[in-house]
Amino acid sequence: MAGIVRLERQTIADVDFAITPIDSLAPSGCVLERCDFRGARLDRRMRPLFRAASRNTFRECRFDGVDLRGIDPGTARFEGCAFDGADLSGWSAMTAEFVDCHFAGSIQDVRFYGRPWGPTASAMQPVRAVNEFRGNDFRQAELVRVLFLMGISLSAQRWPADDEYVRLDRIHQRLARGRSEILRWRDLDARNEALAMVRSLSLLYIQQGDVVARRSEPGTATRPEIQTRVWETLAAAL
């Protein structure tokens, strides 16, 4: 296929992009149904697919095992898509929407937003005040430094059931009361480290009421035992 094929408001169905020259396709305002991206190479050249002027909707598409690190999801909408084993490292989904999607395997360093945020938010077509984020299944996922921010409803998702994760409501009330408890800790080093973690959480979740997190998050400045103790304190705060 020579040149660029531009599609406006079309439905693209049942395409295997592992064998289709995807870099020659520039859809805008299109619906991609049951398309298979497994085995496809998605890099910076594929940005127009996800960051079209009028957003594209991916419906029941397969991204299993795909390296998506070079892709910014932009304003795209994903409905019933599978991301099992996909590498989403570094994603900051500030204007993307996810509905009834399935995630499995290790997910690292990703941020999902419940409201449009960032420099592209005002240029979205169509404009919206909320990123729809519901019905997503994370039960088979390992969440490592994954954040759900700015109004995402935790009760509208499915989460891992093991005790490695903590899920708390009314996080700001818990942080205020937990801080008062931490100030009574006798170990000065542990207390200062815990207070720094509380300050960080207060800023991080400033527009998020409920949180889900690992009790001990690897790769962070706070020692694992302090993290666990802080979360235990917050859980008991109310």
User: What average pLDDT does range 105-128 have in this prediction?
Assistant: 88
* pTM, two decimal places: 0.91
- Looking at this protein, which amino acid is placed at residue 192? N
Residues 67 and 167 in one domain: no
Residues 6 and 75 in one domain: yes
- Looking at this protein, which amino acid is placed at residue 203? L
Exposure of 123 by Cβ count < 10 A (0-12 exposed, 13-18 middle, 19+ buried)?
A: exposed
Domain count within the chain: 2
Q: Give the end of a domain, one of 107, 133, 160.
A: 160
Residues 128 and 203 in one domain: no
More confident call, 21 vs 193: 193
**Residue 95 confidence (pLDDT):** 93
Residues 10 and 72 in one domain: yes
Domain span holding position 103: 1-160
Q: Which letter does DSSP use for residue 103 in this model?
A: E
Evaluate if residue 1 carries a pLDDT over 50. Answer: no
Sorting pLDDT into bands at 50, 70 and 90, what band is 2? very low
**pLDDT tens per residue, range 184-196:** 999 999 999 999 9
Cis peptide upstream of residue 27 (ω within 30 degrees of 0): no
Q: Give the end of a domain, one of 140, 160, 180.
A: 160
CATH of the domain at 29: 2.160.20
Residues 67 and 138 in one domain: yes
Q: Which letter does DSSP use for residue 99 in this model?
A: E
CA distance 215 to 166: 6
Residues 137 and 190 in one domain: no
